[in-house]
Amino acid sequence: MKIALINENSQAGKNQLIFDTLKKVVEPKGHQVFNYGMYTAEDKIQLTYVQNGILAAILLNSGAADYVITGCGTGEGAMLALNSFPGVICGHVVDPSDAFMFSQINDGNAIAIPFAKGFGWGAELNLEYIFEKLFQGESGQGYPKERVVPEQRNKKILDEVRKVAFKDLVTILKGIDQELVKGAISGEKFKEYFYANCKCNKIKEFVESVLGK
């Protein structure tokens, strides 16, 4: 699995801690981590949580990433931004039990973590345990056992509703302020990671129209 880490500007100073903790947990499981930044609070390219949503949607819908780890001060803004796009189901995860139940019940492909609220003593341990529970075995298996069948049925219903509720991603991206989109995909490592892993020519062509090849 290709896992993308995205940090917005208010919490960029914690990027290295989050990146190191994520790698520690998931690389032994055979997953790859791609750090899309922000890397420091002083980065030239400054991402807002809204741009986190744009970037995450491009990565997930293009196949450049299979999962996105992101957040903001409270995690709420990033969650709302990511869930504004098709192909993205983002949960708000505060602790390991949130991570486990989101993975098993909701079977999403992104989480938003509060990186300021409650992020104090032992925060790195909480992150480690969140990532352990999030990537503990196959997702979507249901919890508790007696709720497996209705939960899996509801997830399929949700997926069908979302197909109707959202337009094609490229159509959406073309309707957004193009400077906002460009800022979301202008990070230091974006071109290197995206072009190497993108599986969708339509989204790739759109990105090239914004950034160039």
The pLDDT > 90 percentage for the chain reads: 99
Residue 82 near residue 68 (C-beta atoms within 8 A): yes
Q: Which residue has 């509720």 as its token pair? A: 165
Q: What is the pTM of this model?
A: 0.96
pLDDT at 2 over 90: yes
**What's the confidence (pLDDT) of residue 66?**
98
What residues have CB less than 8 Å from 59, skipping those under 6 apart? Answer: 4, 36, 65, 68, 194
Q: Which of 210, 184, 204 is nearest to 61 (CA)?
A: 204
What residues have CB less than 8 Å from 127, skipping those under 6 apart? Answer: 17, 18, 21, 22, 113
pLDDT at 82 over 90: yes
The pLDDT > 70 percentage for the chain reads: 100
Distance, CA of 85 to CA of 166 (rounded, Å) = 7
pLDDT interval class at 6 (50, 70, 90): very high
What residues have CB less than 8 Å from 207, skipping those under 6 apart? Answer: 58, 185, 194, 198
Output 156-164 pairs: Cβ under 8 A, ≥24 positions apart. Answer: 158/89, 162/86, 162/89, 163/86
pLDDT at 213 over 80: no
Tokens at residue 129, please?
């345990």
Sign of CA dihedral 177, 210, 175, 39: negative
**What's the confidence (pLDDT) of residue 212?**
79
**What's the confidence (pLDDT) of residue 69?**
98
- Supply the CATH number for residue 125's domain: 3.40.1400.10
Residue 188 near residue 45 (C-beta atoms within 8 A): yes
Q: What is the dihedral of CA 179, 59, 109, 6, to 10 degrees?
A: -60
Mean pLDDT of 178-189: 97
DSSP state of 172: H
Number of domains in the chain: 1
Domain with 151 in it = 2-211
Q: Which of 11, 49, 18 is nearest to 35 (CA)?
A: 18
- pLDDT single digits (tens) 87-144: 999 999 999 999 999 999 999 999 999 999 999 999 999 999 999 999 999 999 999 9
